[in-house]
Amino acid sequence: MRVTFDSALATLRSGDAGRTIELCQKALKGDPADGKMRVLLATAQVREGRFEQAEDNLRDVLGRFPEIPKANRELGNALLGQGRGDDAVRSFKRVVELTPEKSVAHFDLSIALSKAGREEEAQLALEKSFELDPGRREILAAVRHQRSGQMYKAETIYREILRRDPTNVTATRLLGVTALELGKHRLAARLLRNAIKLAPEFFAARIDLARALTENEDYGEASEILEEAIRLEPRLPYPRMLLGNLLSKSGKYEEAIVVFEEALALEPNHGGSLAGLGHALKTVGRQDDAVAAYRNCVRVHPASGEPYWSLANLKTFRFTDEEIASMETYVDNDELAEETRVNFNFALGKAYEDRSQFERAFSYYETGSQLRRANERYDPVGTEVIHDRIIKTISPDLLNKHDDSGDPDPSPIFIVGLPRSGSTLIEQILASHEQVEGTHELPDLPRIVLDINKQQPHGESYPEALQHLSPDELKQLGRRYLDTTLRHRTGKPRFTDKMPNNFPSIGLIRLILPNAKIVNAKRHPLDSCMGSFKQLFFKGQAFTYDLIEIGEYYLEYERMMNHWHELLPGRILDVHYEQMVLDQENQTRRLIDFCDLPWDDACLRFYETDRAVNTASSEQVRQPIYSKSLNSWRRFETQLQPLIEVLEPLLMKLPADQRPGCLS
pLDDT digits (tens, 9 = 90+) for 69-113: 999 999 999 998 887 888 888 999 999 989 988 888 888 888 888
> pLDDT over 90 for what percent of the chain?
56
Model confidence at 281: pLDDT above 90: yes
pLDDT tier, 165 (very low <50, low <70, confident <90, very high otherwise):
confident
**Angle in degrees, CA 529, 532, 536, rounded to 5:** 155
pLDDT tier, 517 (very low <50, low <70, confident <90, very high otherwise):
very high
Model confidence at 572: pLDDT above 90: yes
CB atoms closer than 10 angstroms to residue 6? 10
Stretch 316-343: mean pLDDT: 91
User: Rounded distance, CA 66 to CA 68, Å?
Assistant: 6
pLDDT tier, 240 (very low <50, low <70, confident <90, very high otherwise):
very high
Position 138 scores a pLDDT of 76
pLDDT tier, 618 (very low <50, low <70, confident <90, very high otherwise):
very low
Model confidence at 233: pLDDT above 70: yes
* Stated pTM of the model: 0.76
Position 316 scores a pLDDT of 83
- The 3 state secondary structure assigned to 354-403 is HCCCHHHHHHHHHHHHHHHHCCCCCCHHHHHHHHHHHHHHCCHHHHHHCC
Position 542 scores a pLDDT of 93
User: Rounded distance, CA 619 to CA 612, Å?
Assistant: 11
Position 135 scores a pLDDT of 60
Please report, for residues 289, 497, 499, 590, the alpha-carbon distance to residue 575 in angstroms, rounded to integers and kept in the order given: 34, 16, 16, 9
Model confidence at 11: pLDDT above 80: yes
pLDDT tier, 585 (very low <50, low <70, confident <90, very high otherwise):
very high
User: Rounded distance, CA 359 to CA 411, Å?
Assistant: 46
What DSSP state is assigned to residue 285?
Answer: T
Taking only the tens place, the pLDDT of each residue in 421-440 is 999 899 999 999 999 999 88
Please report, for residues 47, 391, 457, 506, the alpha-carbon distance to residue 566 in angstroms, rounded to integers and kept in the order given: 54, 11, 28, 12
Q: Which domains does the chain have, with CATH numbers?
A: 402-663 (3.40.50.300)
Q: To the nearest whole number, what is the mean pLDDT of the chain? A: 89
- In this structure, which long-range contacts are made by residues 385-388, counting pairs with CB atoms below 8 Å and at least 24 apart in sequence? 386/463, 386/504, 387/504, 387/556, 387/559, 387/560
pLDDT tier, 616 (very low <50, low <70, confident <90, very high otherwise):
very low
Q: What is the CA radius of gyration of the chain?
A: 27
pLDDT tier, 619 (very low <50, low <70, confident <90, very high otherwise):
low
Burial level of 294, CB count in 10 A (0-12/13-18/19+)? buried
pLDDT tier, 620 (very low <50, low <70, confident <90, very high otherwise):
low
Provide the strand spans (E) within 493-623: 494-497, 517-522, 572-576
Cβ atoms of 282 and 314 closer than 8 Å: yes
Taking only the tens place, the pLDDT of each residue in 358-384 is 999 999 999 999 999 998 989 999 999
Least confident span in 174-178, 188-192, 607-611: 607-611
Helix H or strand E encompassing 437: strand 436-437
Model confidence at 341: pLDDT above 60: yes
Stretch 402-413: mean pLDDT: 95
pLDDT tier, 626 (very low <50, low <70, confident <90, very high otherwise):
low
> pLDDT over 70 for what percent of the chain?
97
Cβ atoms of 480 and 448 closer than 8 Å: yes
Position 35 scores a pLDDT of 87
User: Rounded distance, CA 522 to CA 418, Å?
Assistant: 8
For residues 7 and 544, the model is more confident at 544
Position 101 scores a pLDDT of 86
pLDDT tier, 613 (very low <50, low <70, confident <90, very high otherwise):
low
User: Rounded distance, CA 130 to CA 103, Å?
Assistant: 7
Backbone angles phi and psi of 494, in degrees to 5: -130, 155
